[in-house]
Structure 1
Amino acid sequence: MNMVETVIVRVTQGSLRGQKVKTPAGATYYSFHAIPYAKPPVGPLRFKAPEPAEPWGGIRDALKEPAVAPQTGVFSNTQYEGDEDCLYINVFTPKLPVSNADVLKPVMVYIHGGAFCIGSGNAQMHGPSPMMNTGEVVLVTMNYRLGALGFLSTGDSVIPGNNGLKDQVMALRWVQQNIAHFGGDPDNVTVGGVSAGGASVHLHVLSPMSKGLFHHAIAQSGSALCPWAAEDPSLALSKAFRLGEALGCKTSDSKKLLEFLMKVPAQKIVEGIDKALEEEEKHPMPLLFVPVIEKGNHKDEAFLREKPTDIIKSGKFNKVPLIIGGTSREGLLIMRDLMEHSSWYHSLSADLEPLISVNLKIPKGTEETKEISHKIKEFYFGDKPVSKETWPQLVDVCRKYIIMLFLCQNIAVFNEISFCFPRYMVTCFSTFGHTGVLKSNKQNPRLLFICTSFHSKNNQDTYIQLI
């Protein structure tokens, strides 16, 4: 029987017991799971901004992964899982400091994606092995509130919204206060994420609440300019009322809605989201509750008070090096949905407007929307129907009009305020997907991808195309 070697680390709240682990490649590292970075957002703290975690006595075991945020498997058909008590952080380090003279290592804080409604920072999808194999990076992952519990907003001071993003800010503050105890450099923190995690990263670049909490940013397959990444408070309010009605409370009063939702079990709230969605909103991604522009006067610190485009144009954002990129097959995300809801996609053969209007957030039924939808269908499909046989074209439409269009828009908007902003986009990650290390970037392990990768058909080196 193998004995687990444990280690003790002292942080601001108390002492933690972690363990010594080996990667499949044989590299040694230390793992600390389920470290509380905020009070459990339960009871009166539901729908509230996070509060710092309280200290504990004795030694707290940090040996098992934390519960995920309440969710259902939107893309995997799994049942409800999770716990409202979910605000925990995981830390993985190749070396613990022995003395104050030790050189601290760069830190990667990874924010998971999942349409702001599913996912976690746990190792099932975001294992530490690739980065721990380098021996040069301290990795931090986190769980934050999702779905209605993390992003519902009444568009006013009753429930301002963005609690999931405020959870992330609290986690970043914890990192600043504690990461040196794990051998990480609090003055060399990179935040990275994919999809909704990538949009979150970009939103942190724009938010005054996140100022000084990180020094580099990597937003993959997501941007604050994506229409699903930040919506108007009036739209958020209508969605909140729709959820209330789906759960049995038809009202147009924010306070009455909050009073009702405080009494509803978390599982019913999560499962009620599907009832509140219109059919066309379920495909290809069920994005009902997302980040919102916070309006009104409220006592809590606001995460986002202006439109992302306006913030960028004003120049009032966190000036840190930023990498934004996507993949050549972003739209593969929709393939499972295509297979399981083929009847809905068959309806797209006659009209792409439902897909375009929902994902570009433009009004349905207008001449402009109809014209855009017609031209997109004509260009990508010609006279062929939208079906399982034409899935590559549909994948390409979703890639360009849900993700890539807005990544390119970032470059255009940033370029308006800085002529020297780099205008490059990575267009192929073939070697990256196979090995986890770009041939030209082996000296920068913070660029390592920690998710499961799709492998390309060849092993050509990465190339960069000037836009």
Structure 2
Amino acid sequence: MKISLILAAFSLQIIGQFVLADDQQPPIVDTKNGRVRGYSKTLSYENMTIFVYEGIPYAKPPVGELRFKPSQPADNWTGIYDAHGYRNACMHSLLIKPDNEIPETKHQSEDCLFLSVFRPAKQTEEKLPVMYWIHGGGFETGTIFSVAYDPSYLAGIGNVIVVAINYRLGTFGFLYADDEDAPGNAGLYDQLLGLKWTNDNIERFGGDPNKITIFGESAGSMSVSSHLLSPLSKGLFKRAIMQSGSVNSWMGSTSKAVALKKTKMVANALKCPEDDIKQMLKCIRNASADDIVKSNQYGRNAGMVLSPVYDSELIPKNPVEAMKNGEFHQDKDLLFGINRNEGTVFAEAIFPTVLSPTIKNPKLTKKQARTLIELLFGIFKLNDPKAVADFYLKNASDSDVDELRLSIGSAFGDYHLTCPTIFFGETFAAHSESNNVFGYYLVKKPSLSALLECVGYMGVCHGDDLVFLFGFPIELRGTVYSEEDFYQSMDMINAWSHFARYGKPGKFGQTEWQPTLNDRSSSNASASVLQMDVRGKHRMIDNYFVPE
């Protein structure tokens, strides 16, 4: 699957518009590992200045005998660490572009466990709320050094500190071998260690360790929900934001048996023994990083992407059962939500010859659409793929090809992203001690999507929320993005930062954002969510997700 992140060619323009500020230098910070020097950056919006501490090591390089093991805290250093400039991205899939094509992401290494701290330059007596960002990328790709995930505007306009973290991906991050040397979830252990680092150090940057909000999108959101279930994360954060993904999904987590099957596929690709766990693990550990990346590609092509493992120390139970039983951190505040057309870009990547929006007058009938949906859900091993196809095609006709294509995308997106996320949010609300649980449904498409493929019929695609949250329409107001985009971006930044500060998002534009009050007495009730449209059209909607 080839997915293009935000504006590969366009990214250089964005980077060029940031100005390094010489007149306001950030203070040197004494972390528990040593002293750190950052740099200042002035944004185009109101000449706002932020301080950036980029690429701070928070863990020992997970190489050699540490490969596949839970990460260990970084060693101390002497002198002043210069936290300025891109560090290595973690080893990741070669199939997803342009992560290997733009300067800040193409340098990959196993020595990649870095985090960055962004904070407003303006000094205040208030200890600032902290937002801990976990990037997405299907547990296979992504890095905090990508321009797509630059939180500068969120930190500056939201008046919060943002900590962004690299974590191990693919085989390096999620290999499970039923052995203490490879217990699985290494990428989640990285996130956990980075969260501990944040608790230990963020006050020195002006942050409040008692107001930490973990947030993420896609696989990052799946990770956030994992930490909401994990006893190991207890006491390390106060709030959570989940954007388009949950641990209780097909890709969000898996059983040990399935995880071990995936590991044996990796071993087979590397020509390693599969019968003896110790010998298999030794062989994989001794393989080159590049060969391991290629073996991960082998598993991906066979539908065996590595992912978090439950029935483990970090995720003790099957997430669906844990949620139903209320076995999660019920005292946390939660903001969760999805975009209107989560599945279109993925479905298009699987069936490009009929679903690509660039095809004029595609030859697609209702019967063919039914076949594609049944094929997909047969792969997902659902008992009755025909029933799924019946549901999504009940109002479609041969005369409306775009509606047929949207139906395929909706079936995929609902199964993988929408329904698991809504289930998590409304189940969390049913057990919540804080009652600060809020949902959203984004129906406003940005003028330029996060994914270059997302045009035409494809709608509000997976990742479009990040365009607004990370301030692209503010940086590029009146050029690529419209005034509606600008205000949506401002509203989202203000709501996310308000939630991090108070546990409630407050008003969205002029619309009061009501909490999700799941009706426990009714089996036919679904989450109440804020429908995010253009300004003036935002509104709360009830029970929208009941049919799905």
TM-score bracket for the superposition, by shorter chain length:
0.7 to 0.9
Distance 1:419 1:88, change over 3 A: closer
CA contact (8 A) 1:144 1:168 kept: yes
1:14-53 residue pairs with structure 2 within 5 A?
A: 14-25=34-45, 26-53=47-74
1:463 lines up with 2:517 in the alignment: no
CA contact (8 A) 2:139 2:219 kept: yes
Q: Distance in 2 between matches of 1:405 and 1:3?
A: 45
CA contact (8 A) 1:134 1:445 kept: no
1:176-255 residue pairs with structure 2 within 5 A?
A: 176-255=199-278
CA deviation string 1:368-426 (max 9, x = no partner): 334334424643655579x8884322222222222111123224534654699578642
CA contact (8 A) 2:132 2:213 kept: yes
Q: Distance in 2 between matches of 1:78 and 1:24?
A: 26
CA contact (8 A) 1:72 1:81 kept: no
Aligned to 1:453: none
Q: Distance in 2 between matches of 1:95 and 1:445?
A: 21
Q: Which runs of 5+ in 2 are unaligned?
A: 1-18, 101-105, 357-362, 447-464, 469-484, 509-531, 544-548
Distance 1:96 1:152, change over 3 A: farther
CA deviation string 1:34-54 (max 9, x = no partner): 101110101110000000011
CA deviation string 1:168-224 (max 9, x = no partner): 000000000000111111111111110111111111111011111110000010112
CA contact (8 A) 1:7 1:20 kept: no
Aligned to 1:292: 309
Q: Distance in 2 between matches of 1:442 and 1:210?
A: 22
Q: Distance in 1 between matches of 2:122 and 2:432?
A: 41
CA contact (8 A) 1:424 1:464 kept: no
1:371 lines up with 2:386 in the alignment: yes
1:322 lines up with 2:341 in the alignment: no
CA deviation string 1:133-173 (max 9, x = no partner): 32610011010000010011124445210010010000000
1:362 lines up with 2:381 in the alignment: yes
Shift of 1:227: 1.9
Aligned to 1:153: 176
Match of 2:90, SS state, is coil
CA deviation string 1:2-42 (max 9, x = no partner): 88546411110111111111112111111001101110101
Moved more, 259-268 or 314-323: 314-323
**One-letter identity of the residue aligned with 1:398:** F
Q: Distance in 2 between matches of 1:457 and 1:415?
A: 24
Distance 1:180 1:399, change over 3 A: same
Match of 1:352, SS state, is helix
Distance 1:353 1:445, change over 3 A: same
Q: Distance in 1 between matches of 2:434 and 2:112?
A: 42
CA deviation string 1:84-114 (max 9, x = no partner): 001100001114769xxx3210011111011
Distance 1:70 1:389, change over 3 A: same
- Number of aligned residues: 439
Match of 1:50, SS state, is coil
Aligned to 1:115: 138
Aligned to 2:30: 10
**One-letter identity of the residue aligned with 1:308:** P
Distance 1:199 1:277, change over 3 A: closer
Aligned to 1:299: none
Q: Distance in 2 between matches of 1:442 and 1:209?
A: 25
Distance 1:3 1:404, change over 3 A: closer
Aligned to 2:81: 60
Shift of 1:233: 0.3
Shift of 1:247: 1.6
Q: Distance in 2 between matches of 1:427 and 1:2?
A: 36
1:438 lines up with 2:491 in the alignment: yes
CA contact (8 A) 2:73 2:193 kept: yes
- TM-score normalised over the length of structure 1: 0.84
**One-letter identity of the residue aligned with 2:323:** I
Q: Distance in 2 between matches of 1:9 and 1:108?
A: 19
Aligned to 1:272: 295
Taking only the aligned residue pairs, the percentage that are identical comes to 28
Aligned to 1:298: none
